[in-house]
Amino acid sequence: MNKALGTGMKNTQWFLPSTPSFPCSWDRSCQCNSSSCLKVPIFCLVKIVDILEQFLREGGLSALMWEVCQQQAQAASPELQETLLNKVVCLPDHLSNKLQGENLPIFLPQNYFPLLGTEIIQVLQRISDSLRGGLDCSISFVSQVLGKVCVHGRRKEILSTLVPCLTDLTKSDCIWQRMCWRLVECVPDRWMEAVVCGFVQTAPGADVLSRLLGNLVVKNKKAQFVVTQKLLLLQYSCPTAMLQNLLGYLALDNSRRFLLLKVLQELMETWASSSAVKHSPVEQQLYISKAILICLSHLKDVEIDSHRQELFTCMMEGMKCHLDSNLPRIRCLGMIVAESISSRINTDGPILKFQYEEDDETRELKSLLTQMLSPPSVISPLDEGRKDSPSAVTEAELKPGRKPLAAACAVSEEGSDSELDSDDDFIPYDMSADKELKKTKAPLYIRDCIEVLTGPEDMDKWEATMRVLETLIQRNTAATQEVSVELAKVLLHLEEKTYIDDFVELRQKALVTVTITDPIPVAQYLTSQFYSMNYSLRQRMDILDVLALAAQELSRPKAPGKNKPSSIQTPCIQILPGSDSSKDWRKIVDERIKSKTRRFAKGQSQVELVCAPNKFSSVAGHFFFPLIQNFDRPLVTFDLLGDDHFVLGRLAHTLAILLYFAVNTVVAAAMGKALLEFVWALRFHTDSYVRQGLLSCISSTLLSVPSDRLLEDVTEELVETQAWLADVAEKDPDGDCRRLALQNLLLMENLKKKLETAPS
């Protein structure tokens, strides 16, 4: 090592006569950095640093690199080059190690690397001059510097100066273009990835990227791998603009278009693979969807024609596995992508059309498809600012121009009444109560209600009955108890005969109220129906919702004598720890529940002001055990462990809720034990929504079952569960699952602490 350094030093002296200060400083810096055993006196160090600073300020780096480039054209010692490369790239590290707190600003990476960037431009300038002069020159040393800097994680600093300059210089000069391509091509394979990523990231547009990289992806295998595989399929962190750059770059030149098609094919395969949909995080699926849409926007009609069948097959497959998913966001992604593909491949036939809620994400995705290739204009960062401002100005000018006109129209219209505008002084009252008048009379007795609901169709009467049912049940507890199960049966099978705004809500409220009025028989009926044949999934989920809501109502302390569930109360537990991913049904239910729901943030629920016995405690078992019993016995029409995993997820959530509301009851311990077994049986379920439900189950077990009972009865299960939780917290692909698992671990930790502090 020392020997190599020695020759290096000698050579340096030899080939740099023009910069007299350099040899000394280089020599010293090498010494002081590489051999720490050599103690340099402090004044000497200061001197060296001064010289080095001067060297940098005077453009020494470009001179150095230029020298090496010239040499390379002849044969040069690879060792020397290696050392120089190392020193140039690692200078800031060496100096900050040596100088610690007294480092000079110029040696800080955020200053040094931009400087290095401008120096590289200098060198390239010289090379271009010499090429024009007919002299041969090698660029590979500069490429190596660039590659090494990039791989050292300083690509942002160096490329932020390099790319804008190169963008400008390559605009109309083909020698510069060639040099730039060469610069990237000569980067050694092991550093190629960092450089290519850097360029893709920094280039302001696809056309610029195309100018800077040339046909690199065709020539260089490594670059091709990075662009077509790594950036698209193996990671998902790039922002959308970068994706657009990348795919636009592939689309811009005919010699690269085959890669675009290849990429699209691979993306579509991933998109259509049910295992990818199940196991990869939502963010990655979003990323892939974006990439597909951008690809589609670049495809020409001819290309689509030749790949129509493939696209169609992939679309059908992908649509199926996306729509199967329990996560609304993934379903939505599937719908948008499928819609987009179908709109591209069916030019004249009918196209797919789904119903989904528009939000920012869907709008962004759709806009990707309609975005055409940006016109081949050069937008350097400087120009961009300029380009924006005039358009903003014109818009600002236009808008007020329109308004006065409209105002003038309005005035001329109303001008005939040239009085003071007295109408507007009157502020309207709320007129939302102004609804269509219903003439039919609602029934007054519960039995009449059953008759109307099951009887011949009289739509008005039927609607009036639906609206009045809840209050009738509440008013007439005894009468309801006589027919409770019959009524529950009617309501469960009730279909919306005519459109009512809030039919689902009315029916649910009525069912919940019946369940509260006569908990045991109705709960028995409902839980038995959950596992019987010939129900739709919707009905089964309705049963779960009703049971959860009824449990909540029952467990809520009420003022004595007041039977009516008050919807004004807003105490707080969030039973289903909020996850963004499964908004759809949960949003509906949650919002409905929200006004009545308590939420637990961490640990205990808040102290209620009113104290009353928990009515749920005596009936909790009737709600819980029949539900948990049969989950592993598939029916002909209903297979919880198979296709109907969405219901299984709901079941898990519901069980968690039931146990949560059974807090402080005798039966809670038994319920907790059963629930832990349930969780254990299902812990490796592939569906993330089910896993979320299971994690909620564990949360409610930890919160509801008294800690001493937990330790006595289910110690082993707890230990096992803890191991599983740790595993989930670390490895689960779903972010919500990881978060929930972490929360559970925290709860366990608290439990442990509590036991430790408690006197035993």
Partner 1 sequence: MIAAMALPPPDPEFVLRGTAAPVHTLHFSCRGQEPEFPILFSGSANGLVQIWNLKTHRVDKTMDGHGGKSVYWVETIHGRDGLLSQGRDQKICLWDLAEGRNVVTDSISVDSVGFCRCSLLKVAQDRWLIAMPANDPDEVQVLELPSKTSVCTLKPEAGAKLGMPMCLKLWQPGFGACPFLMAGYEDGSVILWNLSMGKMLSRLACHQEPVMSLDFDSEKAKGVSGSSEKVLSVWSLDEQQNLKVHKTHELINSGISDVTIRQDRKILATAGWDYHIRIFGWKKVKPLAVLDYHTATVHCVAFSDHSRPSERLLAAGSNDQRISIWSLYNQT
Is 501 a binder of partner 1 (CB under 8 A)? Answer: no
> Measured from the CB of residue 416, what is the shortest distance to partner 1 in angstroms?
9
Q: Where are the beta strands (DSSP E) in 39-85?
A: none
d(CA 681, CA 696): 15
Residues with Cβ < 8 Å from 239, sequence gap 6 or more?
A: none
Task: Name the 3-class secondary structure at 664.
Answer: coil
Is 397 a binder of partner 1 (CB under 8 A)? Answer: no
Question: Closer CB to partner 1, residue 301 or residue 421?
Answer: 421
- For residues 145 and 116, the answer to whether their CB atoms sit within 8 Å is yes
Query: For 632, phi and psi rounded to 5 degrees?
Result: -100, 15
> Measured from the CB of residue 597, what is the shortest distance to partner 1 in angstroms?
24
Q: Which stretch binds partner 1 (CB under 8 A): 162-170, 429-437, 717-725, 739-747?
A: 429-437
Is 422 a binder of partner 1 (CB under 8 A)? Answer: yes
Positions 551 through 580 that interact with partner 1 (CB under 8 A): none
300, 435, 604, 756: residue in contact with partner 1 (rule CB under 8 A): 435
How would you class 160 by CB atoms within 10 Å of its CB: exposed for 0-12, middle for 13-18, buried for 19 or more? middle
Question: Closer CB to partner 1, residue 434 or residue 591?
Answer: 434
Is 431 a binder of partner 1 (CB under 8 A)? Answer: yes
- For residues 498 and 465, the answer to whether their CB atoms sit within 8 Å is no
> Measured from the CB of residue 422, what is the shortest distance to partner 1 in angstroms?
6
Neighbours of 636 (CB within 10 A): 7
Q: Which stretch binds partner 1 (CB under 8 A): 70-78, 425-433, 581-589, 642-650?
A: 425-433
Q: Which stretch binds partner 1 (CB under 8 A): 349-357, 421-429, 470-478, 726-734?
A: 421-429
391, 432, 604, 757: residue in contact with partner 1 (rule CB under 8 A): 432
Question: Closer CB to partner 1, residue 358 or residue 434?
Answer: 434
Q: Which stretch binds partner 1 (CB under 8 A): 50-58, 325-333, 335-343, 420-428?
A: 420-428
Q: Which stretch binds partner 1 (CB under 8 A): 7-15, 433-441, 457-465, 599-607?
A: 433-441
d(CA 319, CA 312): 10
Neighbours of 164 (CB within 10 A): 18
Phi-psi region of 759 (alpha: psi -120 to 50; beta: other; left: phi over 0): beta
d(CA 645, CA 639): 8
d(CA 189, CA 169): 26
427, 478, 568, 611: residue in contact with partner 1 (rule CB under 8 A): 427
429, 495, 636, 756: residue in contact with partner 1 (rule CB under 8 A): 429
d(CA 612, CA 447): 32
Q: Up-side HSE of residue 74: CA atoms within 13 Å toward CB?
A: 6
Query: 3-state SS of 450-488?
Result: HHHHHCCCCHHHHHHHHHHHHHHHHHCHHHHHHHHHHHH
Positions 437 through 496 that interact with partner 1 (CB under 8 A): 437
- Size of residue set near partner 1 by CB under 8 A: 19
> Measured from the CB of residue 427, what is the shortest distance to partner 1 in angstroms?
7
82, 102, 189, 417: residue in contact with partner 1 (rule CB under 8 A): 417
> Measured from the CB of residue 472, what is the shortest distance to partner 1 in angstroms?
20
254, 358, 402, 426: residue in contact with partner 1 (rule CB under 8 A): 426
Cα first-last separation, the chain: 66
> Measured from the CB of residue 464, what is the shortest distance to partner 1 in angstroms?
16
Residues 452, 457, 461: CA angle, nearest 5 degrees? 50
Is 436 a binder of partner 1 (CB under 8 A)? Answer: yes
Question: Closer CB to partner 1, residue 348 or residue 436?
Answer: 436
| Contacting residues toward partner 1, per CB under 8 A | 414, 417, 419, 421-424, 426-437
